[in-house]
Every structure is written in structure tokens, then in C-alpha cells.
Amino acid sequence: MKQEVKSYGKVNLALNVIRKKTNNYHEIDTIMVPYKKIWDTLSFEIHKSGNTKINLENKIKNQHISIEQEDNLVYKAIELLRKKTNFKEGITVHITKEIPLGSGMGGGSSNAGETLLFLNEQLNLNLSIETLSDLGLKLGSDVPYFLCRGAARVTGQGEKVTPLSFENFFNIDVFLNPDYQSSTKKIFNHLDLSKTIHPKIDDVEKALLANNYTELLSSMFNSLETVLFILFPELQKRYFHLHKNKKYDLFFITGSGSSFVGITISK
């Protein structure tokens, strides 16, 4: 029996990169919200025994995907769970990809997070969210966030996830650039912390909790924006061209790019 799960991407409303840690990862402070206008679909089949098999269907225009099964985050998530719990079931997953790779929306991390949650429930593994988060962090810094399935403030290396609850007083639309795959590792390697803007995430959170749209707009920024446009000047031209669209009050990038986000107040 096949069971389908929607795997939504995320948008960083603001992102501050604080410092580089001794393990070469970066300490961040960010607020993420789910973006439910586009999603990947994970179709699971659980067998009484067997191995893990991943089938990948690409529905992304202008982007070719070539990933070995063992490099897929869904495969890695399943095998981490298998090693942790010694479950014997065979797992087949058909992944329909619609969130572009390198888009800054965390598509792969979302896939991994949903896989951890789904199998933990379906196989009665009874692992806590804390344990799943520890496993998720081994797969990627965004994976722990996707375990909360909602808005959250994320700090540390990505492992500290604090859910946020606020009225949805704004709308966001994502503009994809699938012909530009932004490498998170490359962006961070070129980041000069002394030359970027460091938004105050406390101010963003206060604006969200107070439903203050004006303050929200004035406090939003992404520390990775400058380096993204240095590495991809043609992408910056698209970004500036997008500003001609007066429907939106502000444009910003999500994650390490390459997607742009437009924001408007809810009517």
C-alpha cells in the first residue's frame, strides 16, 4: 500500500549569520515559515523485509537532477533510522521533485524531515522529537526545523528550534530561478561577516508577534544576500528587475538563494 506525504519548502523571513564556529559550520539566527504553494511528494511503500530503494521523478523545469541513490537525503534518513533502531522492513520511496535544488527553500531537507517523521510513526519506532532532531542534524542544518511543520525561530547550527505562533497578516510569493543552483557551502565559504548586514532577529520576532507589518518590513534582511549577488551578478539583475513589480512591498532572498520572495500585507 502506497502512502503519500507532501513535503513543503520553507522561507527565511530574515537570516543573521553570527559567526563561524570552530567546526567550520556557522552559527545562525533566523525565522522560518513553511511555504505551501509548492511541494515535493513522497510516496512510501513499506515491505515486511528488504532494503531501501529510492525512485526520483523530476518535474522541475530548466533543471536537470542527477543524484546517486546513496547521496539522496531520503535514503540517508532511512538508513540512519535503520541503524538507530534496527528495523527490518524494506522501504521504497518515489520522490516527485517540484522544489528546485539550490533554491534556498530546503527541499531536500524537508524530504529528509518528513521521512523521519513518517517512518517513526508508521514503524512505531517511538523516537522522541529530540532524537529525530539529532539524527536530522547529521543530514543537514535545516532538517531539525522541518520536524516542527510550522513557523519557528532557529538558532545555533540549526539544531535549536523554537516554534512561533502568530497571525498570518502577510502574504509571500516565491519566484524560482531553477537555472541557478546556489550551493550553500559555496555561499558560506565566500561570506565575509565583516562586510554583510546583520539583521536583528529579535526585532523581526517582535513585529510578527505584534502583527506590525511596517516594523516587519524594516527589520527583514538576509546576511547571505550580498555574497549571493557577488557570485551570481546575472541573478542580481533579475532581482532588480523584479522590483519593478509594484504589487509587492519588499523582495528578499530565502536561505542561500537562488529564489526570491515578494511580500504583501493580507487584505
- Candidates 253, 10, 12; CA nearest to 155 is 12
Report the Cα–Cα distance between both ends of the chain, in Å, rounded: 43
Residue-by-residue pLDDT tens, the chain, 267 positions: 899 999 999 999 999 999 998 888 899 999 999 999 999 999 999 999 999 999 999 999 889 888 999 999 999 999 999 999 999 999 999 999 999 999 999 999 999 999 999 999 999 999 999 999 999 999 999 999 999 999 999 999 999 999 999 999 999 999 999 999 999 999 999 999 999 999 999 999 999 999 999 999 999 999 999 999 999 999 999 999 998 889 999 999 999 999 999 999 997
Q: Could you tell me the three cell numbers for 37?
A: 504553494
Same domain, yes or no: 38 and 148: yes
Answer with the one of 162, 194, 227 that is the final residue of a domain: 162
What CATH number is given to the structural domain containing 239?
3.30.70.890
Buried b (16+ CB within 10 A) or exposed e, 128-146: eeeebbebbbebbbbbbbb
Same domain, yes or no: 122 and 178: no
Q: Hey, which residues does 32 pair with through a beta bridge?
A: 12, 152
**pLDDT of 62:** 84
**pLDDT of 245:** 87
**pLDDT of 207:** 98
Q: Hey, which residues does 84 pair with through a beta bridge?
A: none
Contact 43, 3 (CB under 8 A): yes
Contact 135, 104 (CB under 8 A): no
The count of structural domains within the chain is 2
**pLDDT of 132:** 98
Residues carrying an active site annotation: 10, 142
| C-beta neighbour count of 27 within 10 angstroms | 14
Answer with the one of 162, 183, 203 that is the final residue of a domain: 162
Same domain, yes or no: 82 and 103: yes
Structural domain of 248: 167-265
Same domain, yes or no: 98 and 214: no
CA dihedral 240, 39, 142, 4 (to 10 degrees): 180
Q: Starting at the edge strand that comes first in sequence, how are the strands of the sheet with 260-265 ordered? A: 170-175, 260-265, 250-253
| C-beta neighbour count of 149 within 10 angstroms | 14
What CATH number is given to the structural domain containing 52?
3.30.230.10
DSSP structural state of residue 69: G
This prediction has a pTM of: 0.96
Distance CA 149, CA 145 (A): 8
| Chain centre distance of CA 184 | 11
